Structure 1
Amino acid sequence: MTRRIVRTTIQLGSLTLIIFLIVFLLDNRFNVLPEAIHNALPAHHPGLVITDITVATCSTLNILSSCKLDASKWHRVEKDLYLSRGWLSHAFIHIERKRESELTEKDKVILDIRIGELDPVTSEKNQGAERWESRPGGIWLKRTSKHRESDNINAITAVDVLFGRDAVEARPGWELTKKALILPNSGPENQEAYLTVRRGPPVAVQKPALHVNKDGKFKILQVSDLHLATGPGICRDPEPPLHDGGGCDADARTLAFISSVLESEKPDLVVLSGDQVNGETAPDAQSAIFKFAHLFIQRRIPYAAIFGNHDDEGSLSREALMQLTHSLPYSLSEFGPTTIDGVGNYYIEVLARGGSSHSALTLYLLDTHGYSPDERQFRGYDWLKKNQIEWFKSTSRDLKSSPSHTAYTHHHMDMAFIHIPLPEYRNTDDIVPSTGKNPENPTAPGFNSGFKDALVEEGVLAVSCGHDHANDYCSLSKTPDGKPELWMCYAGGSGFGGYGGYDGYHRRVRVFEFDMNEARIVTWKRIEYGETEKQLDRTIIVESGRVVAA
């Protein structure tokens, strides 16, 4: 009899578990999977003000709990405050918003937000007429029901969530709260959730035009494979291993390195050539992107990005990544044509000095995608598609015949940037290694779609990639009769969130300096540790507008 009761109890327990799982999978109240919550960026509509904020929590063990409030009143910010790391607890910020034109004397607008255990009034000298109102998550709101013009100016109009104790806000007009949200169960270590808010209407984003400097020069800093995380990140293969006592937060050390190069080199443009985001450690890619963008924005340095094979392995698709990157100040990143494969096939024109509208330099940036679509026949990585190459060739020809190019009185120069190296990078019959080291076998695609030949055909002088972190060389491709035709370079990996364990490898970046007076291109590298002030492997790769041997 006892055994029968136990067997029945087990059967009922199993049935209960099955029913629970079915309810869990079907009930969209638990819409907390990363790909579901991060498909798009939070929507911040103009003309709206935030009237209230709250936090809704739910548990997969309690089918009666819900992380969705009444949709007619509340808008949910689609970011799980626990980053969907746990399957038991979830929490989401919800905001109530109304159009300014529809506000009445009875409606309240939020003038300020604080995070903490205690009422902020205890630390304020001037308490003011409005009291702080408590909300879940340690949120304190100061709201006013007085519908005045001054209140509208100071009113909070948008709310978002960023993660990590190293989180920064890159958007103009936005402000990050100083303390993380206080949640019932602690979230992922060093990936705490922070509220960020905007006051007033959206701020106009600056998109500067690029010009050659008065001295006829233009400098590009190529930064590749940052591999930034959500939160401080964990160092992989730090070199030297015991630097700074052996402690190493990956992103802090990476960003400090890039900051030092920006200060010393003072580039006119930064090209980010892929894997800015380390998908495996970036459950919120937005927080990772803001960290590198903030470096350039605060220095007013224009930058342009393409993506690698890891960028969209985090919380955002390639389209959402580009939407976000494109929207930031000083970003020249573009979606490119929607009729061809990939996201981020575009070009940038650098105009002649002064107020000239004539193009002196054209930079082509193309999406090399991710992994092979035909793993059985071509293992490894994807390749540039035929329609991308045709777009590049037709664009190049159109630009060459345009008035902005034909009117330029000096020698016009072209260069290209990609993430995954071309097959020719590993073709030792055609390539003569000239500068730098190649400890890694280039992980180029197995299928050759002919982009290198297209570059040569269109007169592009150099192409530079990322992807293989420890390769930092430039190789010269020659014609069958031995004449130089194209330089193919690596940037070298810059981020401590990505691998670097090759014979004491130091993270590095590459610089290209264009001298338009002499139609010359010089390139060199800067490293993170050791001879940090030295221009390593300084090489002239183009002279008088022609590719030359080192």
Structure 2
Amino acid sequence: MKDNQARIILFSLFFTLIFCASAQDREMLRFDENGEFKIAQFTDTHINMDKNSNFKSYEIIRGVLEKEHPDFVILTGDIVTQSNPTKGYEHFAGMFSKLEIPWAVVFGNHDSQGELSRSDLAELLKTQAFCLNNDVGGIAGNSNFILPVYGRNNTPEALLYCMDSHSRSTLQPLVEGYGWFDFSQIMWYREKSLEYTRQNGGSPLPALAFFHIPLPEYTDAWNNKTTPPVGVKNEDECSPDINTGMFSAMLECGDVMGTFVGHDHINDYIGVHYNIALAYGRVTKVMKGEDDPLAGGRIIVLKEGQRKFDTWIRDMNGVKELPCSWPETFFSKKKFN
């Protein structure tokens, strides 16, 4: 009897260890055997299940995933905008877990306008299957975290900075408009970037940054005549009126190759400002205007050990749009080298 109990305990421990190792492996993002890591960015779905509004966004996302088979999905804000978003995010979790794709969310200006605060949303997402959200806390915002992408040597070879670009100005009525990065976030970014650079022998790791509201420098990227953007601008950039210096921090740290945002539904360009790519995703909810971009998602493919990435749009009809490569599409080899 005691031997049987001992066997049962050993088997239980064995399967528990296997399960924990498997769960941990799912949470560890990795380059594949070809040295590539594919990201699918979806943005501004504005799902409201209570009103059956923009429910087609789920179908669009599923279609892009089946076409692209990404290693990771990032949702860049204004995702579930109903009063209680729990069911909406549970639907996402069910879809991504069925496909065994890890995912994460950075908050937009509309995400916390319902019953749940940003901190409530952060706690909710931590409980969802395959979701990697893990807010660092102690700084402004509630979707600030870093996801390393590991290489063949089990060391970080790239970084994904996920950040909360907030909602509205906190200085109203003096300053109207949208929110901006807090100095605590910029300090956190600088400290973590320096830490990873030191661990990498003084060389900055290739990095991407994901958030919702475009930086003020996006306008400069669109107006860059020397290095023209790829994609369309159908509305003015809805950036904050206050510039607290996140772009200059990224420029000085030297790790971020490109930033990827949403917010402006009918912009999808990727431009250049001081050798950093400033990009929009593709709106994932169906727009109504005849000239509006067709709903879909942006695909980004990182290359292990290289400061480069490929990117394109996959629209809701499965068509590949606006393919380009960083830095080759934007710089001649002579200029870049």
Same fold, TM-score > 0.5, yes or no: yes
- Take 2:88 and 2:129, find their aligned partners in 1: how far apart are those partners? 16
The Cα offsets for residues 490-549 of structure 1, whole Å up to 9 and x where unpaired, read as 0021024xx553624311210101122654301100111xxx333211001136xx9846
Q: The residue matched to 1:360 in structure 2 has which SS?
A: strand
Q: 1:523 aligns with which of 291, 306, 311?
A: 311
Q: TM-score, normalised by structure 1?
A: 0.53
The Cα offsets for residues 42-64 of structure 1, whole Å up to 9 and x where unpaired, read as xxxxxxxxxxxxxxxxxxxxxxx
1:420 corresponds in structure 2 to 213
The Cα offsets for residues 21-51 of structure 1, whole Å up to 9 and x where unpaired, read as xxxxxxxxxxxxxxxxxxxxxxxxxxxxxxx
Q: TM-score, normalised by structure 2?
A: 0.85
- Take 1:457 and 1:547, find their aligned partners in 2: how far apart are those partners? 21
1:5 corresponds in structure 2 to none
* Counterpart contact for 1:224–1:509, Cα < 8 Å: yes
The Cα offsets for residues 245-265 of structure 1, whole Å up to 9 and x where unpaired, read as xxxxx21x2111100111110
2:5 corresponds in structure 1 to none
2:90 corresponds in structure 1 to 290
- Take 1:549 and 1:224, find their aligned partners in 2: how far apart are those partners? 31
1:458 aligns to 2:253 (yes or no): yes
More helix by share: 2
- Take 2:69 and 2:202, find their aligned partners in 1: how far apart are those partners? 29
Say what the alpha-carbon RMSD is for the aligned residues: 2.4
- Take 1:438 and 1:288, find their aligned partners in 2: how far apart are those partners? 30
Shift of 1:430: 5.4
Q: 2:114 aligns with which of 314, 318, 328?
A: 314
Where do 4+ consecutive residues of structure 1 move more than 6 Å? Answer: none
Q: 2:69 aligns with which of 266, 271, 284?
A: 266
Aligned residues: 309
Q: The residue matched to 2:161 in structure 1 has which SS?
A: strand
Which letter maps to 2:138?
Answer: T
Q: 2:35 aligns with which of 194, 212, 216?
A: 216
Q: Which has the larger radius of gyration?
A: 1
2:323 corresponds in structure 1 to 538
2:23 corresponds in structure 1 to 206
Identity of aligned residues (%): 29
1:491 aligns to 2:281 (yes or no): yes
1:441 corresponds in structure 2 to 236
Shift of 1:397: 0.1
* Counterpart contact for 1:465–1:491, Cα < 8 Å: yes
Q: The residue matched to 1:462 in structure 2 has which SS?
A: strand
Q: Which runs of 5+ in 1 are unaligned?
A: 1-202, 235-249, 479-484
Which letter maps to 2:242?
Answer: F
* Counterpart contact for 2:282–2:293, Cα < 8 Å: no
- Take 2:290 and 2:241, find their aligned partners in 1: how far apart are those partners? 24
1:365 aligns to 2:162 (yes or no): yes
Q: The residue matched to 1:340 in structure 2 has which SS?
A: coil
1:344 aligns to 2:161 (yes or no): no
Shift of 1:232: 5.7
1:275 aligns to 2:78 (yes or no): yes
The Cα offsets for residues 103-160 of structure 1, whole Å up to 9 and x where unpaired, read as xxxxxxxxxxxxxxxxxxxxxxxxxxxxxxxxxxxxxxxxxxxxxxxxxxxxxxxxxx
Q: The residue matched to 2:124 in structure 1 has which SS?
A: helix
Higher relative contact order (CA 8 A, sep 6+): 2
Q: Which runs of 5+ in 2 are unaligned?
A: 1-18
More strand by share: 1
Counterpart mapping for 1:134-153 below 5 A? none
- Take 1:430 and 1:305, find their aligned partners in 2: how far apart are those partners? 30
1:510 corresponds in structure 2 to 298
Which letter maps to 1:361?
Answer: A
Q: The residue matched to 1:206 in structure 2 has which SS?
A: helix
Structure 1 residues 228, 534: closer, same or farther in 2, change over 3 A?
same
- Take 1:308 and 1:487, find their aligned partners in 2: how far apart are those partners? 21
